[in-house]
């Protein structure tokens, strides 16, 4: 028993089986098949390996974005000059990757918790019967008290009073000077699988360069300081228009890296695009939100409500790195060999079903185990000289 196992094992190790093959000396089928095989080989080497870099594995980056606006804006409303600096016009203030730059606003100063008439168009009334106490609408500013204010023909409501009147949006926008603000972006990304970390202040972008540069797609594509007006223009908007009702812009930082090369070639590319369809569907354009500043005056809590129209900027990043790895390499080779097998099948079909001497080739390729249904084989058998 032991011996037979040993014999089997030694047999297994000392012998090698290789497929027997027919060598068809036929110019037509030879050229056709070699061409098919060359195409497959070219595809595997040229396309999968060189062009698509199938020998590499990929890693997706995680990271963090820090932003900082600079610039001062001025408004003159009712002959009152007002200066707006970063702490005034950026929301939120801590340098998030997603923030809003105010470009226009409706300010309602000194609101208190009180009762006052609603805006026209929401709870119109001609008598107290139209104003049911406690009732309210989702789009209204508060609950009705039950009174009808004759001066405005609207119901009286409990609310922050006076109610903000946002029916008229200032045009031209109050903070048109926002166009000259600058945005500084810091983006740090990590490829956790490969263990590389990069920031967008790459080689050559040092303190000296940053102090004076402004991003330009052609001349300064690596400068991390952007003029707000440029960002808007590169996204396909017109500043004077988007500034009125606001809009949303995405700055996409693209990191396409190949770590088979030195990490210094891993550099960011900045792309700009409008986020919420400014053109196509005119559904819900603009970007606004309400911000309140609370204070106490004469023991009464008050607030200044600002309806902020602004440009929301989302700094997104996408990091895609590639690096040589043995698994995808061998998978690509293995599946390439499989495709070679497909080429062989195609050639065999040509050989066995298309060529004039197909019966002869069929006979050479195949050997039949039983004679009963194999008459054509017997006929041709003498041509075989083995």
Q: Quick one: which of 171, 169, 147, 186 has its CA closest to 65?
A: 186
Does position 332 bind a second copy by CB under 8 A? Answer: yes
Six-digit token pair at 315? 């700094």
Does position 282 bind a second copy by CB under 8 A? Answer: yes
| Identified binder of a second copy from the candidate list 119, 153, 158, 359, rule CB under 8 A | 158
Does position 382 bind a second copy by CB under 8 A? Answer: no
Does position 324 bind a second copy by CB under 8 A? Answer: no
Tell me the closest approach of the beta carbon of residue 311 to a second copy, in angstroms.
Answer: 12
CA-based R_g, the chain, Å: 38
Q: Flag whether 370 is marked binding.
A: no
Q: Flag whether 307 is marked binding.
A: yes
| Identified binder of a second copy from the candidate list 45, 213, 252, 380, rule CB under 8 A | 252
Q: Flag whether 68 is marked binding.
A: yes
For residue 92, whether the previous peptide bond is cis, meaning omega lies within 30 degrees of 0, is yes
Tell me the closest approach of the beta carbon of residue 151 to a second copy, in angstroms.
Answer: 22
- Those residues with Cβ within 8 angstroms of residue 254's Cβ, 6 or more apart along the chain or in another chain: 268, 269, 270, 271, 317, 318
Tell me the closest approach of the beta carbon of residue 169 to a second copy, in angstroms.
Answer: 17
DSSP letter at 220 equals: B
CA distance 46 to 52: 9
Tell me the closest approach of the beta carbon of residue 215 to a second copy, in angstroms.
Answer: 14
| Identified binder of a second copy from the candidate list 186, 220, 263, 380, rule CB under 8 A | 186
Does position 48 bind a second copy by CB under 8 A? Answer: yes
3-class DSSP state of 66: strand
Query: Checking phi first, is residue 234 left (phi over 0); if not, alpha (psi -120 to 50) or beta?
Result: alpha
C-alpha angle 286-306-297 in degrees, rounded to nearest 5:
170
Residue 317 near residue 63 (C-beta atoms within 8 A): yes
Q: What is the per-residue burial (b if ≥16 Cβ within 10 Å, else e) of 256-286?
A: ebbbeeebeebbbebebebeeebeeeeeeeb
DSSP letter at 384 equals: -
Q: Flag whether 12 is marked binding.
A: no
Does position 16 bind a second copy by CB under 8 A? Answer: yes
| Identified binder of a second copy from the candidate list 220, 250, 346, 359, rule CB under 8 A | 250
Binding residue count for a second copy, defined by CB under 8 A: 148
Six-digit token pair at 347? 């050639």
| Identified binder of a second copy from the candidate list 78, 219, 281, 382, rule CB under 8 A | 281
* Residues in region 222-241 near a second copy by CB under 8 A: none
Tell me the closest approach of the beta carbon of residue 132 to a second copy, in angstroms.
Answer: 15
Does position 300 bind a second copy by CB under 8 A? Answer: no
Looking at the Cβ atoms of 172 and 277, the one nearer to a second copy is 277
DSSP letter at 127 equals: S
Q: What are phi and psi of 171, to 5 degrees?
A: -145, 115
Tell me the closest approach of the beta carbon of residue 241 to a second copy, in angstroms.
Answer: 19
Does position 49 bind a second copy by CB under 8 A? Answer: no
Q: What are phi and psi of 158, to 5 degrees?
A: -80, 125
* Residues in region 336-355 near a second copy by CB under 8 A: 336-342, 344, 347-348, 351
Tell me the closest approach of the beta carbon of residue 261 to a second copy, in angstroms.
Answer: 19
CA distance 46 to 300: 76
Tell me the closest approach of the beta carbon of residue 235 to a second copy, in angstroms.
Answer: 12
Looking at the Cβ atoms of 98 and 152, the one nearer to a second copy is 98
Looking at the Cβ atoms of 64 and 241, the one nearer to a second copy is 64
CB atoms within 10 A of CB 45: 14
Q: Flag whether 289 is marked binding.
A: yes
Could you please report the per-residue DSSP string of 272-284? EEESS-SSSS-TT
CB atoms within 10 A of CB 310: 28
Does position 95 bind a second copy by CB under 8 A? Answer: yes
Does position 376 bind a second copy by CB under 8 A? Answer: no
| Identified binder of a second copy from the candidate list 130, 220, 314, 359, rule CB under 8 A | 314
Q: Which residues are annotated as a binding site for ATP?
A: 68-70, 182, 288-290, 307
Q: Which residues are annotated as a binding site?
A: 68-70, 182, 288-290, 307
């Amino acid at each position: 028993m032991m011996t037979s196992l040993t014999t089997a094992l030694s047999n297994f190790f000392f012998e090698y089986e290789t497929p027997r093959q027919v060598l068809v000396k036929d110019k037509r089928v030879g050229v056709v098949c070699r061409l098919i095989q060359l195409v497959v080989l070219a595809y595997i080497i040229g396309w999968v390996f060189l062009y698509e870099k199938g020998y590499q594995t990929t890693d997706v980056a995680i990271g963090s974005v820090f932003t900082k606006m600079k610039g001062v804006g001025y408004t003159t409303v009712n002959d009152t000059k007002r200066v707006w600096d970063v702490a005034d016009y950026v929301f939120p203030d801590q340098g998030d990757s997603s923030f809003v730059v105010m470009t226009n606003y409706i300010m309602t100063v000194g609101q208190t918790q009180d009762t006052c008439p609603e805006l026209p168009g929401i709870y119109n009334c001609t008598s107290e019967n139209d104003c049911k106490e406690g009732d309210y609408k989702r789009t209204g500013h508060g609950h009705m008290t039950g009174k009808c204010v004759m001066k405005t023909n609207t119901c009286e409501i409990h609310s922050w009073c006076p109610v903000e009147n946002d029916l008229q949006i200032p045009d031209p926008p109050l903070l048109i000077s926002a166009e000259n603000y600058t945005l500084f972006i810091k983006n740090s990304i990590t490829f956790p699988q490969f263990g590389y970390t990069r920031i967008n202040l790459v080689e050559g972008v040092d303190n000296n360069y940053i102090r004076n540069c402004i991003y330009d797609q052609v001349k300064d594509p690596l400068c991390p300081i952007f003029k707000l007006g440029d960002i808007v223009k590169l996204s396909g908007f017109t500043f004077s228009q988007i500034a009125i009702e606001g809009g949303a812009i995405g700055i996409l930082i693209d990191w396409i890296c190949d770590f088979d090369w030195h990490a210094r070639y891993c550099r960011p590319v900045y792309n700009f695009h409008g986020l919420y369809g400014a053109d196509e569907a005119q559904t819900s354009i603009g970007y606004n939100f309400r911000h309140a500043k609370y204070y106490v005056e004469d023991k009464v809590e008050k607030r200044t409500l600002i309806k902020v129209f602004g440009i929301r900027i989302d700094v997104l990043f996408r990091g895609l790195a590639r690096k040589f790895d043995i698994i995808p390499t061998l998978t690509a080779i293995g599946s390439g060999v499989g495709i070679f097998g497909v080429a062989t099948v195609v050639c065999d079909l040509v050989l066995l079903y298309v060529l004039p001497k197909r019966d002869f080739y069929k006979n050479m390729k195949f050997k039949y185990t039983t004679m009963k249904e194999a008459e054509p084989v017997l006929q041709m058998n003498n041509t075989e000289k083995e």
